[in-house]
Amino acid sequence: MIPVRGFVGDTVAVLGLGRSGLTAARALRAGGAEVVAWDDGAKGREAAEAEGFALRDLTRAGAFDGIACLVTSPGIPHLYPAPHPAIRAAWDAGVAVDNDIGLFFRSLGHEGEAPRVVAITGSNGKSTTAALLHHVLIRAHKRAHLAGNIGRGVLDLDPLGEADIVVLELSSYQTDLARSLTPDIGVFTNLSSDHLDRHAGHGGYFAAKRRLFAEGGPERAVIGVDEDEGRYLANQLSEATGDPRVIRVATGRIEAPGWQVTVRKGWLAETRMGRQVASVDLRDVPGLPGRHNHQNACCAWGAARALGLGPRDIEAGLRSYPGLPHRSQRIAERGGVVFVNDSKATNVDAAAQALQAFKDIRWICGGLMKEGGLDALRPHLGRVAKAYVIGREAEGFALALGPGIEAEVCTDMATAVARAAAEARPGETVLLAPAAASFDQYDSFEARGQDFAERVAALDD
């Protein structure tokens, strides 16, 4: 555990007692702080009490008397659509609000040299990029750790030294609030509309991502420039033409000069000042299927190069990468039909990338639709032989797909898998890429993907 520094003898409040909240409470106590804790749910309060933390209802009058800081969990709204009452009370009391990511960065370097930190954010692909970079580093015999929104809670890591490299996946909820953001390398994968209610629109969502670079000032930035926001960010971070501190990543040509990692027709190429210095054929890499995973590979390549790894070591890591569960995960092949679990495709842009990765698709989709509708999927529906729609709003989702695609309302996963498997022909892919949130039927996208995998496994019975 990393003890949180700067609060010896102070009382710090922790709001939200899930994984990150309880870990933050433990790390604060390890650093010498007195901790009071609160969760709106009885289960979280009971867990804190069981570890000896004092409870205090942070929504009551006077709750912040004597409090030095409020640490809140990422799932708790701190501004939009409305601040949690305890956060509003902290504002009124003049108490600083932070999260575990901010505590992590403020606590680095207090005992010996600080590790190098790579922080990865973006709309889609950040989990794969983080896991892939971590895998590449481990295979190259580096002391690497995966944490943040993936792997271990960031404060749950063992004490770190200068030989360590921490790979952090950070969501917009985490970057939006952290008071300290000082990574050595920042990575921005891409941007698409997501979490708009939490950030009051697309601009607020981008602003939350941008804080990692504007507030943190990383020594080097790896920026996906397929969207205008990425081009803007890369331009903002460049001090001169071809600034080597910015590595641009794209799934196509880049007009701006400088350090670039691009992928075209499955070939990754690294270019510096107009000269190609490395290339890799990604088309036969089993753990990275499709254009979106090729972009993830580019981002991981850029970060690994910024850390000083050579092309051969990185290529070896790419080729041995097994892939992440629920992200373009090939789980079975039966009678020439491949079954792929991409339950993490919880928004339209992620689902569109999944559809581009395969041909002749039997598509399992549906769930809680997000703002913006399904229009972005239409250019890719020609790859879909038929859609099998799940979710409580399955009929509405099927109608939103439009008349150009055959869609069957299945409602539940068992029916969808059975129908898709029965109708699929050799050479086709049964793809779960929902383009929607899972919370109408499941606790998480992981639970949804696991249900899909179990239904596919049961086809043998």
341 known member of a binding site:
no
3-state secondary structure of 130: helix
193 known member of a binding site:
no
127 known member of a binding site:
yes
Q: Which of 86, 67, 68 is nearest to 76 (CA)?
A: 86
Concatenate the DSSP letters of all residues of 66-94 into one string. Answer: TEEEEEE-TTS-SSSS---HHHHHHHHHT
Q: What element of type H or E holds 135? A: helix 126-139
Question: Phi, psi at residue 202, to the nearest 5°?
Answer: -65, -40
Q: Are 311 and 270 in contact (CB under 8 A)?
A: yes
3-state secondary structure of 457: helix
**How many angstroms separate the CA atoms of 176 and 206, rounded?**
10
265 known member of a binding site:
no
The tokens describing 210, both together, are 């941008």
Rounded to a whole number of angstroms, the distance between the first and last alpha carbons of the chain is 45
Q: Which of 299, 212, 311 is nearest to 249 (CA)?
A: 299
**How many angstroms separate the CA atoms of 232 and 206, rounded?**
11
Q: Are 305 and 247 in contact (CB under 8 A)?
A: yes
Concatenate the DSSP letters of all residues of 168-188 into one string. Answer: EE--HHHHHH-S----SEEEE
**Reading across the β-sheet that carries 185-188, which strands appear in turn?**
143-148, 164-169, 116-121, 185-188, 220-224, 246-250, 259-264, 267-272, 275-281
The one-character DSSP state at 129 is H
Quick one: angle between helices 445-457 and 413-423, nearest 10? 50
411 known member of a binding site:
no
224 known member of a binding site:
no
129 known member of a binding site:
no
Binding region for ATP: 122-128
Binding region: 122-128
